[in-house]
Structure 1
Amino acid sequence: MQAYLLAVYGIGFSRPRALSNAKDTADEICTVYGSGTTTIRTVRNWFKKFRAGNFDLQDEDRSGRPVTTDADLIKTVLAENPRYSVREIVDDTNIPKTTVHKHLIKMGYANRYEVWVPHLLTETGLMNRVSTCDLLLQRHERNPFLKSLVTGDETWILYQNVSRKCTWSKENRPSTVAKPGLHPKKVLLSIWWDWKGVVYYELLPQGETINADKYCNQLDQLKAAIAEKRPELVNRRGVVFHHDNARPHVAMVVRQKLLQFDWDVLPHPPYSPDLAPSDYYLFLSLKNSLRGKSFKSISEIKRTQMNILQVSLNNFGKRA
């Protein structure tokens, strides 16, 4: 743009052009380069420099902190601690608050809440997940085992399953719905299943949870159910068993019980719900189907959830 001003002023021509006033020149520059490219005041300042014999087109150094230095400082501070607030960045860098805010927006930063995850894995834990996944994939390529797999887990079933829905409202006043209490009425569902459907399940009485002794008793019931419903697993293929590493599942008495059964227990890395079929597939479908439903008794829960589970597992079996 400065070169264009020189041309307008007459520098570099064999016959100088007639000098234009600042307003006409600013209008002409905006016509060529786009609206808002320059202002009348800027053009006057450049003309003043030209009349004084200064035809240097480079911007002169100005006092104050360079813009790039401000941006680099903010990046450095956030790299050390991304939880810093704007005020803490100001205190650490001595950059004005408005300047910090502008730079954050310009650099694409946004201040959001952290995402909840079950556990922050260490480098060793991450490598354990990768190696376990690779081991399972290689095993399945050598000898497909999904149709011999029996997997299981536990989940809570609420008596009152509250759900939020979109509603039409006026004046930006959405409808309200009460959140579940801190201690809602619920029962624990323990379930084991394979590609054909439910093998064994149990709804524990209200207020009862799982411990190692209870889990061992459930495994005895599961073994009997497999012998009755899946005799081919017992007679030919053998049971490939999977559960996560919750405390009752990895207790010493439980490990001894599984050794007695001679089941092939698959490895499961810590804090990996996305690698557990029940968490990743079955329970997600179950909770979505239970939204908005209310129950008065365990028997009513039993009838409803068994229908839902069977439909979900039928769909799973078709894909297996």
Structure 2
Amino acid sequence: MSEISEKIRYVLQFYFDNRWNASKACEKICAVYGDDALSQSTARKWFARFRSGNLDVKNAPRSGRPITDKVDEIMEKVQIDRHISSHDIARELKINHNTVLNHLHKAGYKKKIDVWVPHELSEKSLINRISICESLLKRNEIEPFLNRMIVSDEKWITYDTRKRSWSETDERGTLPKPELTKKKLMLCIWWDCKGIIHYELLRPGQTIDSNLYCQQLLRLKEEIEKKRPKLIDNNHVVFHYDSTKPHTSLMTRQKLRDLGWEVLMHPPYSPDIAPSDFYLFRSLQNSLSGIKLSSEEDCEKHLHQYFKDKTPDFYREGIMGLPNKWQKVVSKNGQYLD
């Protein structure tokens, strides 16, 4: 607390003791210390505190771990899951939402297609985006591979549940009052130019780690054998994912080598050229707008119907639009696409 703030609070206490109201006290203080010295709402807050019997002008000591620890945890959560919302980070770490936003912005992060990415790409990142996109463009001209590509990604699906709490009423007693509680499920999905190959909904609050992801890859292999047998028979799977930790861990890389699948190059911090982010998830999110989901079952039903309603042309358009995206990245010298 600054020296001037402490002085103003003692002055507020003096006016309170002399039975002034908060508004008049605020005017007097601002006349002496400047218009920005004190707000009406702050003056009313301190007067309410004095009326309660608490005449201490010092801030209560703060509990919890140092804020530097929280900053590290915020950044760790973003590194693990770049789709995580700032509200979820605040709720999980039990800190103010604005605190989360402030530290993410100070660290240079912003949301791009619902994914946390650096606000300004470094020179190395720009060069990576250009060189990888140029390489993919040339390869696709020589040996078209997009019809062999399987895209892997995750997205949070939120829903509201109602729980009952007790609220005081009149002489009739208490009545149950419904309250909304937000929950979320992680959608893990794998798709190609023909449609959805496999998807899973994790338990509420459960996230991906390397061990779980490797188990999912084995289940995915079984689905590919059923739905795209030629890809397995000819060992032609081209696998695409982003650079989150569970995807790029040593365990995951070894599992993909064991499966014999080629991993497609994808530059870090590039949701604008990731088919799930710029295409599938955008469409899915639009379908969720205005829809009230109240249970896991509602989420499952909505996803099932959404995927069922999409034609093969829809999925093909999302995959086959990639060369145009790559070309735009090269033309814009690696900068993010709008």
The TM-score bracket by the shorter chain reads 0.5 to 0.7
Displacement of 1:135: 0.8
1:248 is displaced (CA, Å) by: 0.5
DSSP 3-state at the match of 1:184: strand
1:305 Cα deviation after fit: 1.3
Alignment size in residue pairs: 187
Q: Does 1:116 align with 2:114?
A: no
- Residue 279 of structure 1 corresponds to 277
- In structure 2, which of residues 167, 187, 190 is the aligned counterpart of residue 189 of structure 1? 187
Structure 2 stretches of 5 or more lacking a match?
1-107, 112-116, 162-179, 321-338
Supply the AA of the counterpart residue of 2:124.
Answer: T
* 2:252 is the alignment partner of 1:254: yes
Asked whether the 8 Å contact 2:235–2:261 carries over to 1, the reply is: no
- C-alpha distance 115-213 of structure 1, shift in aligned 2 (>3 A): closer
Counterpart contact for 1:286–1:309, Cα < 8 Å = no
Structure 2 distance, partners of 1:249, 1:313, is 29
Moved over 3 A (4+): 114-117, 310-313, 317-320
1:315 and 2:313 matched = yes
Kept in 2, the 8 Å contact 1:241–1:264? The answer is: yes
**C-alpha offsets along residues 181-235 of structure 1, whole Å, 9 cap, x if unaligned?**
9x83111000000111111110001011101111111111111110111101112
Shift of residue 115, structure 1, vs aligned partner = 9.5
Larger RCO: 1 or 2 (CA < 8 Å, sep 6+): 2
1:283-298 paired onto structure 2 within 5 Å? 283-298=281-296
Give the secondary structure class of the aligned counterpart of 1:295: coil
With the length of structure 2 as denominator, give the TM-score of the two structures. Answer: 0.52
| Equivalent residue runs for 1:1-16 within 5 Å | none
Q: Secondary structure at the match of 1:156?
A: strand
More strand by percentage:
2
Give the whole-Å Cα distance in 2 for the aligned partners of 1:133 and 1:156. 28
Higher Cα radius of gyration = 1
- Structure 2 counterpart of 1:144: 144
Q: 1:269 aligns with which of 260, 267, 270?
A: 267
Q: CA deviation at 1:318?
A: 5.2
- The equivalent of 1:131 in structure 2 is 131
| Number of the residue aligned with 2:301 | 303
Structure 1 length as normaliser, TM-score? 0.55
Contact 2:160–2:295 (8 Å) recurs in 1: no
RMSD across aligned C-alpha pairs, in angstroms? 2.2
- Number of the residue aligned with 2:203: 205
Question: Which residue matches 1:65?
Answer: none
Within 5 A, what are the aligned runs for 1:34-113? none
Q: Distance in 1 between matches of 2:304 and 2:311?
A: 10
- CA deviation after TM superposition for structure 1 residue 313, in Å: 5.7
Distance 1:202 1:318, change over 3 A: closer
Q: Matches of 1:317 and 1:210 in 2, distance apart?
A: 25
Cα distance per residue 1:220-276 (max 9 Å; x no partner)? 111111011110111236101100010100010000000101111101111000111
2:214 alignment partner, one of 213, 216, 224: 216
